[in-house]
Amino acid sequence: MSPPSQLPFSRRRALKYASSGFGYLAFAALAHEQARAAGTSRIDPLAPKTPHFSARAKRVIFLSMRGAPSHVDTFDYKPQLTKDNGKAGQLGSTRGDMLMGSPWDFKQHGESGLWISSLFPGVAKHADDLCLLRSMQTDQPNHPQATLQMNTGSFQFVRPSLGAWSLYGLGTENSDLPGFITLNPRGSAQNYGSSFLPAIYQGSKLDSGAGRRGPNAGGGGAPKIPNIKNRDMNGEQQRVWLDYVQSLNQNDLSRRVHQPGIEGVIESFEMAFKMQDSLPEQIDLTGESQATLDLYGVGNATTDTFAKQCLLARRLSESGVRFIEVNHSSSWDHHQNLKNDMEKNCSEIDQPIAALLTDLKQRNLLDDTLVIWAGEFGRTPHSQGSDGRDHNNKGFTTWMAGGGVKGGFSYGSTDEHGYEAVENKMHIHDWHATILHLLGINHEKLTYNYAGRDFRLTDVHGYVAKDILA
């Protein structure tokens, strides 16, 4: 696969030769011609590309849990931890680290018999579709760095995000929508940025109408996209107007020779223009049956926010969006109030996630949609205070479902208490390599030349966990 980066829209390319001399008139004529010739000779950075090898997963839904959920209370069953409850932890009793068995019961589920705690009754029903990755590791025990590493591979430098790399590698199946959409992100835009990749690959933020503005807004309301309709211009006029804006941008670009920022402006306008038509339809949940809304938990105060996000994710994946990141709005940083807050958080997402899996399955989408659930790290088996757990980057759990992973499967393990991955360790780099592999991309071959060097998502690391491939 050759990097498409140097080849922008042909509309702009044509103008590179024409802009300085002909200006808007030439631009309009070319644009017109271009529109007629669309599909024949168009070189579009978002056009679908053939992967390195045939792949099961065509798209990704990444359920991101900000704040690092506890693995030993959810998907990493540790009977020895329960037995050793109250004993000194790894760091010794002088530091006050007493082991704390999970306050929740674990049971085996499905034919596969995966151990899942009582916090996820709905998700547990899909045990036979889940692939638990119980030996995750990341470099940093701090939230911003670890979140950045989970999203970009690097905790230190500005690098393109996983979604941007995926889009760069595969293009998108629906050029009327951004190929990478992130729902209600918080924190640094680097987490969904494109860094040195062209701006068209960065994630587009979308407010799903979830309660991001606090508990008093969004609940029950429709998702909102600000500024999606024009007050003064009809469609035809707006196209004329946009052509003029793009001719100005094109002129500007030709004067600067190379300016990724201007290319970003040009691309953002083209996409915005298309989104005016495509997006309202996408986010309009009124066409969904009551049964579907109920399945996800839309309208229920506890689940409403995440339910809308998950339902939207399904709709977007159905429409061919390549990478969708769903950001859970509550924090999982349970240094204290673990018992209450874990129950609260899990009850917000359990039903919506279960519904997402059910829904994707009944639409035959689960096979080629990779669903990922992950936080930036895990938590300590010992308690912090009487009712909390501290950060743990040495061992934690994420899971995948659909998209070519083995269902009802558990990969890797931590030590008897859950401190550290001991078997089949899976570093974030390995995780990234595996995700790209599932998308049909060889992580060592997906490169982008920048500053005289070929960059990769996995830098010089990454092993594909072949054992989890279906």
Minimum distance, C-beta of residue 24 to another protein, in the bound complex (Å): 3
Contact between 6 and another protein by CB under 8 A: the answer reads no
Q: Does residue 1 interact with another protein by CB under 8 A?
A: no
> Are the C-beta atoms of residues 379 and 391 closer than 8 Å to each other?
yes
Q: Which stretch binds another protein (CB under 8 A): 9-17, 23-31, 290-298, 417-425?
A: 23-31
Interface with another protein (CB under 8 A), residue from 96, 220, 277, 284: 96
Segment interacting with another protein (CB under 8 A) among 8-16, 59-67, 431-439, 447-455:
447-455
C-alpha 390 chain-centroid distance = 25
What residues between 427 and 446 interact with another protein by CB under 8 A? none
Give the per-residue contact string, 335-364, with another protein (x = CB under 8 A; - = no).
Answer: -x----------------------------
Q: Which of 6, 16, 25, 467 binds another protein (CB under 8 A)?
A: 25
**d(C-alpha 352, C-alpha 375), whole Å:** 17
466 belongs to the binding site for another protein (CB under 8 A):
no
Altogether, the residues listed in the chain come to a count of 470
Cβ proximity to another protein, 103 vs 299, nearer residue = 103
Sign of CA dihedral 36, 40, 41, 42: positive
**What residue type is 342 in one-letter code?**
M
Least separation in angstroms between residue 390's CB and another protein is 7
**Which residue, 157 or 467, is less far from another protein as judged by CB?**
157
C-beta separation of 9 from 266 below 8 A: yes
Query: Looking at 89-97, 116-124, 344-352, 421-429, which segment touches another protein (CB under 8 A)?
Result: 89-97
Answer yes or no whether residue 223 interacts with another protein by CB under 8 A.
Answer: no
Answer yes or no whether residue 176 interacts with another protein by CB under 8 A.
no
The reply to whether 287 sits near another protein by the rule CB under 8 A is: no
Question: Segment contacting another protein (CB under 8 A): 108-116, 183-191, 316-324, 344-352?
Answer: 183-191
Angle formed at CA 31 by CA 28 and CA 33, multiple of 5 degrees: 110
Buried residues in 70-90 as b, exposed as e (16+ CB within 10 A)? bbbbbbbbbeebbebeeeebe
Contact letters for another protein, residues 225-264 (x by CB under 8 A): xxxxxxxxxx-xxx-xxx-xx-xxx-xxx--xxxx-xx-x
Rounded Cα distance between 98 and 81, Å, is 10
Binding region for another protein (CB under 8 A) out of 17-25, 63-71, 159-167, 300-308: 17-25
- According to DSSP H, which parts of 37-133 are helical? 79-83, 121-124
- The span from the CA of 377 to the CA of 389, in Å, is 12
- Both ends of the chain: CA-CA distance in Å? 25
SS3 content of the chain, % helix, strand, coil (to 5): 40, 15, 45
Applying CB under 8 A, the span of 90-98, 111-119, 359-367, 422-430 interacting with another protein comes to 90-98
Report the interhelical angle of 304-318 vs 260-283 (nearest 10°).
110
Query: Which is closer to another protein, CB of 237 or CB of 362?
Result: 237
Contact between 142 and another protein by CB under 8 A: the answer reads: yes
Question: How crowded is residue 47: how many other Cβ atoms within 10 Å of its Cβ?
Answer: 14
Nearer Cβ to another protein (47/272): 272
